[in-house]
Amino acid sequence: MTDHFRGRLALVTGASSGIGADIARQLAQRGADLILTARRADRLEALATECRLFGVTVQTAPADIADPAARTALAERFPATDILINNAGLGAFGAFSTTDEAKITRMITVNITALTHLTHLFTRSMTSRGWGRIMLVASTAAFQPVPLYAVYAATKAYVLSFGNALDVELAAQGVRTSVLCPGTTRTEFFDVAEQTKSGFVERSAMTSADVARIGLDGLAKGRATVVAGTMNTAMAIGTRLTPRSLNARIAYRIMKP
């Protein structure tokens, strides 16, 4: 698995922090050349300098992937991309009825529209070469309805379904798709989502480096769905054995302030 990505060119979205930054670091350690994209150019440059210490080529491409023109430009600039890490994503915590409409629209745009468009753009060149790897970053929220994260969880359910379908559809053409489903992770996510973390959330949180390692190992093994962590795996399995209405009530008790 350590050589699976060596010499390949990987594009990582949302690479300026958290899981995306750690995926980039670990891809560099495994010998992959990198393209880093996110909105914060200064953070991308700092990460690029760090990753180059592993002897790989690193390019930065600051962009807002909510912009369709920016997504098209990435595909046109980097057509030789072998590995697409669709990590960029947004969450918004709170009651749906009072959540700002602009936040909801941007969340759907980044989590669904941009992810789908980028995947479509890069699979064309991957299938023509007969090799490609795609990681879509979802969440354990993909397995159940989550009150107070209603839209976010729904977008991640889309990502899981979409990715699992693509893996079957593209496998014969040499392209494998893996959906990484982290649980609570120590990143900027909760600050951006404006959620005060509960004690349960704090205790169950994993490091982004651990999540990145589990995700890349799963991608190298060709696993269609990768749930990060033993506890999160048990929770994901448990949601399939209980009614969705009960899952929603349990999630609400965990998430509410």
Q: Provide CB contacts within 8 A for 156, sequence distance 6+.
A: 89, 111, 138, 139, 141, 142, 181
- What's the Cα-to-Cα distance from 238 to each of 85, 234, 251, rounded to whole Å? 28, 6, 13
Q: What is the 3-state secondary structure (H, E, C) of 70-96?
A: HHHHHHHHCCCCCEEEECCCCCCCCCH
pLDDT at 119: 98
Q: List strand residue ranges (DSSP E) for the chain, in order.
A: 9-13, 33-37, 58-60, 83-86, 132-137, 175-181, 185-186, 206-207, 225-227
Which residues are designated catalytic?
A: 152
Q: In whole angstroms, give the CA distance from residue 112 to residue 44.
A: 23
Q: In whole angstroms, give the CA distance from residue 143 to residue 235.
A: 9
Contact by Cβ (8 Å): 38, 20: yes
Contact by Cβ (8 Å): 78, 33: no
Contact by Cβ (8 Å): 11, 37: yes
pLDDT at 185: 86
pLDDT at 235: 85
Residue 147, both tokens: 């009150």
Short-list 21, 86, 66, 79, CA closest to 47:
21
The pTM for the full model equals 0.92
Q: Provide CB contacts within 8 A for 16, sequence distance 6+.
A: 36, 38, 39, 40, 43, 44, 47
Question: If the chain, 257 residues long, is cut into consecutive pieces of 10 residues, what is the mean pLDDT of each piece?
Answer: 87 96 98 97 97 98 98 97 97 94 97 98 96 97 95 98 98 98 79 58 80 97 95 88 88 83
